[in-house]
Structure 1
Amino acid sequence: MARESVKARERKRQKLVAKYAAKREELKANGDYAALDKLPKNSSKVRLHNRCLLTGRPKGYMRRFGISRVVFRELASQGKIPGVKKASW
């Protein structure tokens, strides 16, 4: 499980990206790279990293569900994810 500070930092980056998204697009379209450079570095979406919503785990992230493979397996075996069941053949 990730430390709370790491998860908080990632949430802060997500807020900054959302806040400056329109302004970044406008500056990129105009080619004003000097003004773009003055925006906060964490407002760039390439700085975001996919993390599990429940544990904050950075690796083994499943985009479709927003959680890591470990949590996914746990929830799926408990039957808490609709439409997902353990395969057997």
Structure 2
Amino acid sequence: MAKKSLIERNKKRQRLVEKYFHLRQSLKKEMNQTLSVEEKWIFYKKLQALPRNSAGTRIKNICFITGRSKAYYRDFGISRHTFREMAHACLLPGLTKSSW
């Protein structure tokens, strides 16, 4: 089980990404449309002025049940351990254990 502080920190990052998403995208779009280096530098400085945690790459993929960051399945949002337990308990619809 991950520490509560790590889980809360990740939630805070997700909120910041959602808050600054449109501003960040518009700055990037304008920066790519300009041709002069000076104007690009101005947009680059504006991007740098935004909070670091507002970048989407700073969000860590963690299991929302256990907080485990390794062996994470994006489709389900859980780790492989939780996935296996939930599949055996028939909590994930449409999944069957394969046997051959």
TM class, shorter-length: over 0.9
The SS at the match of 1:55 is coil
Q: Distance in 2 between matches of 1:84 and 1:63?
A: 16
| Corresponding residue to 1:73 among 76, 84, 93 | 84
How many angstroms does 1:37 deviate by?
0.5
Q: Structure 1 stretches of 5 or more lacking a match? A: none
Q: Size of the alignment, in residue pairs?
A: 89
Query: TM-score by structure 1 length?
Result: 0.96
1:59-78 CA-to-partner distances (Å, cap 9, x unmatched) read 00001111000000001011
Match of 2:7 in 1: 7
**One-letter amino acid of the counterpart of residue 53, structure 1:** F
Q: Distance in 2 between matches of 1:56 and 1:19?
A: 23
**1:1-89 equivalences in 2 (<5 Å):** 1-31=1-31, 32-89=43-100
Aligned-residue identity in percent: 48
Q: Distance in 1 between matches of 2:80 and 2:2?
A: 15
